[in-house]
Amino acid sequence: MPTSESIHSQEIEEIINKPPDFVLRAGAICLVLALIIALLISGMVKNNEETVLPLKLTSTNNNGIITFQTSGNIAKLLVRDHDTVKLGQALLYVDSQYDHTAIIHLLADLHELEGSVDGDGGFFKPSIEKYKTVKMGDLKTPYLDLLYSYRISKRHINHKEISFKIVSLISEIDKWANIHIQKAPIAGTVNWVNALENGGKVVNGDTSFIVTPIHNQYYGAVWIPDHLVSKIKTGQEVSIKFEGLADADSEIMHGKVTFVSAVAQNGVHTSKITFDNLSLAWLADSKLFHAGMMATARITIKQETIFSRIYYNLKKNFQASARMP
């Protein structure tokens, strides 16, 4: 007579050998659902093929680039990095035996004198006698000569002689100022090229400042090697990351390829990357950017879903096997 234990073991063995129908149905449904979900995900998730190229930030307006015209030391630094400056504003004094500030004022008075030479009544409106004690080195002789003529002309005005001496002194001051006083060539945002400090050494020919125009329109210039140009088309998406910025400022920018040159020069094609509106606003508002900065551009040259890639590979393998004898 079979025991209860043998009856239970037979029932378990029957379940193992032949699972219940509801278990089979549930398993089949789960498997089908898993396949459907996998297909949906593979159809939605995109796999990008990218190429990475260097990008140079370029602007429609030229920057003002300022270089040192002599070697020496910084006598006085007048602006901070990223300050907004006006056209002709003094940015830096290079060490000299002259009194920079006083000579700038003398130059302004001389220009006013020059403009009043042909006038009546206000011929010597600004006084230039107050500069007699100013340190001006080799400029002292033409200055005193003009001052002597200025005093004589108070009694006997000689317009031609005074005009000549004013223009001559202005010319001499300009020659000195071009070497020892750096001024903004355009209005905009001043960017230090290297760290600057009062008393710091400077070298003739080195760039000191780059002044970026206030109203500037930026775009990216990318040079494409000849072997890649067939893959890059207008309309392709580009992500841009600038080099040398702090993590907080190194936001990824976005744009599109809007031009690719058809003819190569020295094995490369030029292309233009147009930034999207958000990136353009960031470039315009931030004082960190200026033309000439380098960045890394990731150009999406092919965009496809995982499903399409799997289908393409399967199709390719099937065609290859069909051609085999």
For the chain, what is the mean pLDDT?
80
| Per-residue model confidence (pLDDT) at position 262 | 87
Is the pLDDT assigned to residue 222 strictly greater than 90? Answer: yes
161 and 231 within one domain: no
Which spans in the chain are helix H? 4-17, 21-44, 100-116, 140-153, 159-180, 277-285, 306-323
137 and 192 within one domain: yes
Q: How many domains does the chain have?
A: 3
Contact 275, 255 (CB under 8 A): yes
| Per-residue model confidence (pLDDT) at position 304 | 58
| Per-residue model confidence (pLDDT) at position 238 | 92
| Per-residue model confidence (pLDDT) at position 259 | 93
For residues 235-252, give the mean pLDDT.
76
Is the pLDDT assigned to residue 22 strictly greater than 90? Answer: no
Domain presence at residue 320:
no
Instruction: Single out the residue in 173, 189, 208 at which a domain terminates.
Output: 208
Domain presence at residue 324:
no
Q: What percent of the chain has pLDDT over 70?
A: 72
Is the pLDDT assigned to residue 265 strictly greater than 70? Answer: yes
Q: Which of 13-22, 65-74, 114-123, 207-216 has the lowest mean pLDDT?
A: 114-123
Instruction: Single out the residue in 178, 208, 238 at which a domain terminates.
Output: 208
pLDDT tens profile 147-183: 887 666 555 556 777 888 888 999 999 999 999 999 9
222 and 115 within one domain: no
* pTM (predicted TM-score): 0.57
169 and 124 within one domain: yes
119 and 228 within one domain: no
156 and 132 within one domain: yes
Domain that holds residue 129: 64-208
Domain presence at residue 325:
no
pLDDT tens profile 72-104: 999 999 999 889 899 999 999 999 888 999 999
φ, ψ dihedrals at 39, nearest 5°: -65, -40
Ramachandran bin of 195, using left for φ above 0, alpha for ψ from -120 to 50, beta for the remaining angles: beta
| Per-residue model confidence (pLDDT) at position 121 | 43
90 and 55 within one domain: no
Cβ-based burial of 146 (10 A; exposed 0-12, middle 13-18, buried ≥19): buried
